[in-house]
Amino acid sequence: MDESIAALIKPDYTDSVENVYRSFALAAISATGSLDVVRHCVLSDDLDSPSWIPALSLEPTGDAFTLRDDTFTTSGITSASIDIMSTSHLLSCKGFIADRIDGLGCMWSKGWDSGTVLQTQNTLDPYGTFEAAQEAIWKSLVACHARPTEYLDADYGSLLATPALAKADLPEQTPLKDLIVSFIFEWCVQYLAGDAEFKIAGRPLRDYCWKEVVPEQIDAVHLRDALMQRDRINLSRRLITTDMGYVGMAPEKVERGDVVAVLFGCSMPMVLRQSMGESGDVRWKVVGDCYLHGIMDGESMGWGRIAEGLVLC
């Protein structure tokens, strides 16, 4: 544990588990000026604690996108601005609602069954061109990462060639042929088949997949790396679209109508679900972090949205 965080924690062996986790979360925020600790929260019906307090005892499944906290700058150069409410269960943090979830892609936990798709309702395209939307899709599939701790600077667009490659007549005992019969390749093909009719920027996903492929132009090692990263990111996550037409990846438990919030001091967008307090006040439950292509580098900070205190419960 970072010494700056440890210095703020006062051990109390009589304290409840929830209070211990709460103290850790607040110490992490105070010591780092970052709100990234909430990225490790898991929305679960089995937990009685507030959604903004990470349940450190749970086995992580696709935890916090398995990405480092310093990869993206969704909230620009802001620092966490929080207020501990009168009740220890509430945390007010400064930020704004950037967008709202519209469509939901197929589910990993259901074997990428196309029946789990909740079709996108709008046809908006914030990317402008077919090629830009296509890039947004394959970058979303890997959360713009080559590895969990390595920002992507290569072209992983060949992920969208996998359906065509699966039908190609390839020579035996070649690296590409060996890759095509692997599980990670088969899983990618199944995944894209499950989302084939899922609409992004007004087009079904199948339209963005390559229609023809020249095997000699595809590097098997490069594609293998892309497939492995796609597999990591897809674990317990699904493709999403938003009311503004953006595409990304979010936890499977996301629902249409959940909001995408930019919280000051948090490196990634957070999916929040509205919950009403006893007095009718608006509160928000943390669903998890998400990758939303087009706002990861602070673009939404220039949209002119008014920051407010979002109360997490």
Tens of pLDDT, residue by residue over 194-231, are: 999 999 999 999 999 999 988 888 999 999 999 999 99
φ and ψ of 153, to 5 deg: -125, 15
Q: Which of 227, 142, 147 is nearest to 190 (CA)?
A: 227
Mean pLDDT on 141-147: 88
- What pLDDT, on the 0 to 100 scale, is given for residue 303? 95
> How many alpha carbons fall within 13 Å on the CB side of residue 286?
35
Give the model's confidence band at 64: pLDDT under 50 very low, under 70 low, under 90 confident, else very high.
Answer: very low
| pLDDT above 80: residue 5 | no
Mean pLDDT on 170-177: 88
In three-state secondary structure terms, 204 is: strand
Contact between residue 292 and residue 246 where contact means Cβ atoms under 8 Å apart? yes
| pLDDT above 50: residue 63 | no
Mean pLDDT on 51-65: 67
- What pLDDT, on the 0 to 100 scale, is given for residue 148? 65
| pLDDT above 80: residue 85 | no
Q: No. of H helices and E strands in the chain?
A: 8, 13
φ and ψ of 140, to 5 deg: -65, -35
Antiparallel, parallel or unpaired: β 82-84 and 91-104: antiparallel
Which DSSP letter does residue 116 get? G
Tens of pLDDT, residue by residue over 8-36, are: 788 888 888 888 888 889 999 999 899 99
| pLDDT above 90: residue 250 | yes
Q: For residue 48, which amino acid is it?
A: D
d(CA 142, CA 66): 11
Beta bridge partner(s), residue 288:
271
- What pLDDT, on the 0 to 100 scale, is given for residue 149? 67
- What pLDDT, on the 0 to 100 scale, is given for residue 7? 75
Tens of pLDDT, residue by residue over 145-162, are: 887 667 787 889 999 999
d(CA 124, CA 290): 20
- Report CA-CA distances (Å) from 35 to 173, 193, 270: 50, 37, 11
Which pTM does this prediction carry?
0.92
| pLDDT above 80: residue 283 | yes
